[in-house]
């Protein structure tokens, strides 16, 4: 028998038992589908986390005010005022290789309104240099400058959703909006971003600026009421010079702030570079675990193929005897059964790819979680399914080839 005839015979035998063949393929279909879906969800999560960490900046060290229990705040403030501008000045003067230190303060808005409209959003007091560090582009107007910051100017730069909700699709530059009891003049509108909805990483809000209002940090500190037991500012963004280690700078910052804060544990030092490494390690573990779980499905599918092929050998014993009697060689019999198991795994693998991509899209649409279909996940799942099919078919094929022709002809 030539290869074409062997393949034609194998496919014909599978087509004769459509239901049995389809049920046998299910293990491979769901196994491959699970592998692709799991790996695509993991890759999507990794992409989202990398975008978030990248937005924090791999050259940055973040000093953030820690949440303190209400009953402990008064006692804590006797030791330390919390994260403040004084800390930023000390870090800039005492720590080598620091390029800039930018303060950031979140204002808790109970109302955001303009004449005839109101909305919800987040309000942040930031440094005039924050735009360059955060790589924020403007769709219109300008960003506030050092003079605005020095004069405590009541100006604001707003996101796209804030602009649309308060001023429609018309021009917003020069118009007034009110945050709590303070009127602010809109001097800039931030451009739309590619990053999706806001998320959190180690408690740090990152993501879209569409629902944010930025104003000078000095304005936020002076013009807006704040609980006197709160830290003066929420965080300091310390940018390290190009090529310098953020971890080494972080190790120098901690003892300095410990002295300034009188040993009070009221701040955290966060290194995005370390978060990146931690995220990659976590992602590797996630991929291994999820891949192993999905691989069990492939293993179960392979066992199913082997079981069916062994049953098929027993069922077709007389046919094998007839074929051997008219000249078929052992390798012909072996090839026929191996091709049948290979065809089951191959067709099941391709069907599993379709199922896996569909499941990934459903997860992305339903949960709002991005999914990424990678070429290596398709190659891995399909390659493993084919390998499992071949291995599962070898033993039944060997048993079929070793049947004695005379005994096979007598089999009823």
The structural domains of the chain, with segments of one domain joined by +, span 3-52+278-410, 67-265
The pLDDT of residue 263 is above 90: no
Cβ–Cβ < 8 Å for 247, 274: yes
pLDDT in tens, 80-104: 888 888 998 999 899 888 888 889 9
**Ranges 268-272, 281-285, 302-306, most confident:** 268-272
The pLDDT of residue 316 is above 60: yes
Confidence of residue 54 (pLDDT cuts 50, 70, 90): low
From 1-10, 21-30, 251-260, 395-404, the region with the lowest mean pLDDT: 1-10
Return the number of other C-beta atoms located less than 10 Å from residue 60's C-beta: 21
Site of tokens 């280690």: 245
* Per-residue pLDDT at 196: 39
Site of tokens 């109970």: 110
From 171-175, 315-319, 337-341, 343-347, the region with the lowest mean pLDDT: 315-319
Per the prediction, the chain carries an average pLDDT of: 79
Site of tokens 């089999």: 411
The DSSP element (H or E) to which 280 belongs, if any, is: helix 272-315
pLDDT higher at 395 or 95 = 95
Residues 243, 249, 255: CA angle, nearest 5 degrees? 170
Cβ–Cβ < 8 Å for 256, 90: yes
* Per-residue pLDDT at 27: 75
Residues 315, 319, 320: CA angle, nearest 5 degrees? 95
Q: What is the DSSP letter of 95?
A: S
How many angstroms separate the CA atoms of 134 and 205, rounded? 13
Confidence of residue 124 (pLDDT cuts 50, 70, 90): very high
Cβ–Cβ < 8 Å for 375, 289: no
Confidence of residue 52 (pLDDT cuts 50, 70, 90): low
The stretch 39-43 carries a mean pLDDT of: 78
The stretch 219-248 carries a mean pLDDT of: 85
The number of C-alpha atoms within 13 Å of 370 and in the hemisphere containing its C-beta is 14
* Per-residue pLDDT at 205: 42
The pLDDT of residue 178 is above 90: yes
Confidence of residue 186 (pLDDT cuts 50, 70, 90): very high
* Per-residue pLDDT at 188: 92
Residues 240, 242, 248: CA angle, nearest 5 degrees? 45
pLDDT higher at 127 or 200 = 127
The pLDDT of residue 323 is above 90: no
The stretch 15-24 carries a mean pLDDT of: 76
Tokens read off for 59: 């050259």
Q: What are phi and psi of 115, to 5 degrees?
A: -55, 110
First to last CA, the chain: 26
The pLDDT of residue 145 is above 50: yes
Which contacts (CB < 8 Å, 24+ apart) does range 172-177 have?
A: 172/140, 173/140, 173/141, 175/114, 176/114, 176/115, 177/112, 177/113, 177/114, 177/213
Confidence of residue 73 (pLDDT cuts 50, 70, 90): confident
Tokens read off for 290: 């999820």
DSSP strand pairing (235-240 vs 176-179): unpaired
The pLDDT of residue 68 is above 50: yes
Site of tokens 């037991």: 229
- C-alpha closest to that of 141 among 208, 186, 98: 186
* Per-residue pLDDT at 326: 72
How many angstroms separate the CA atoms of 104 and 126, rounded? 5
Q: What is the DSSP letter of 193?
A: -
Cβ–Cβ < 8 Å for 348, 36: no
* Per-residue pLDDT at 57: 57
């Amino acid at each position: 028998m030539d290869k074409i005839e062997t393949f034609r015979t194998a496919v014909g035998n599978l087509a004769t038992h459509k239901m049995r063949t389809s049920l046998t393929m299910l293990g491979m279909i769901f196994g491959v589908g699970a592998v692709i879906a799991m790996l695509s969800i993991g890759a999507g999560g990794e992409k989202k986390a990398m975008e978030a960490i990248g937005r924090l900046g791999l050259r940055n060290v973040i000093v953030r005010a820690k949440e303190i229990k209400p009953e402990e705040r008064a006692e804590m403030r006797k030791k330390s005022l919390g994260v403040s501008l004084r800390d930023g000045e000390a870090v800039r003067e005492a720590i080598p290789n620091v390029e800039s230190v930018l303060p950031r303060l979140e204002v808790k808005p109970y109302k955001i309104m303009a004449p005839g409209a109101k909305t919800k959003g987040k309000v942040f007091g930031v440094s005039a240099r924050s735009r360059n560090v955060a790589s924020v582009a403007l769709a219109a107007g300008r960003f506030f400058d050092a003079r605005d910051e020095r004069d405590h100017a009541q100006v604001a730069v707003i996101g796209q959703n804030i602009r649309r909700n308060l001023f429609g699709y018309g021009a917003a530059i020069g118009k007034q909006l009110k945050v709590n009891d303070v009127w602010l003049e809109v001097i800039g509108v931030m451009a739309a971003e590619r990053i999706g909805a806001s998320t959190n990483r180690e408690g740090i809000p990152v993501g879209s600026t569409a629902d944010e209002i930025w104003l000078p940090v000095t304005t936020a500190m002076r013009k807006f009421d704040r609980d006197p037991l709160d830290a003066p500012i929420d965080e300091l963004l310390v940018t390290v010079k190009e090529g310098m280690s953020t971890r080494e700078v972080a190790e120098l910052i901690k003892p300095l702030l410990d002295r300034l804060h009188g040993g009070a544990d009221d701040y955290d030092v966060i290194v995005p570079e370390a978060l990146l490494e931690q995220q990659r390690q976590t992602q590797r573990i996630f991929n291994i675990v999820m891949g192993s779980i999905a691989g069990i499905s492939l293993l179960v599918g392979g066992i199913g193929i082997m079981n069916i092929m062994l049953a098929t050998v027993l069922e077709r014993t007389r046919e094998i005897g007839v074929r051997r009697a008219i000249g078929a060689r052992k390798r012909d019999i072996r090839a026929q059964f191996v091709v049948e198991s290979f065809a089951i795994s191959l067709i099941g693998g391709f069907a599993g790819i379709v199922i896996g991509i569909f499941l990934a899209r459903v997860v992305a649409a339903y949960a709002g979680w991005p999914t990424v279909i990678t070429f290596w996940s398709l190659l891995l799942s399909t390659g493993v399914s084919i390998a499992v099919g071949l291995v599962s078919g070898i033993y039944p094929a060997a048993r079929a080839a070793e049947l004695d022709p005379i005994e096979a002809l007598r089999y009823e």
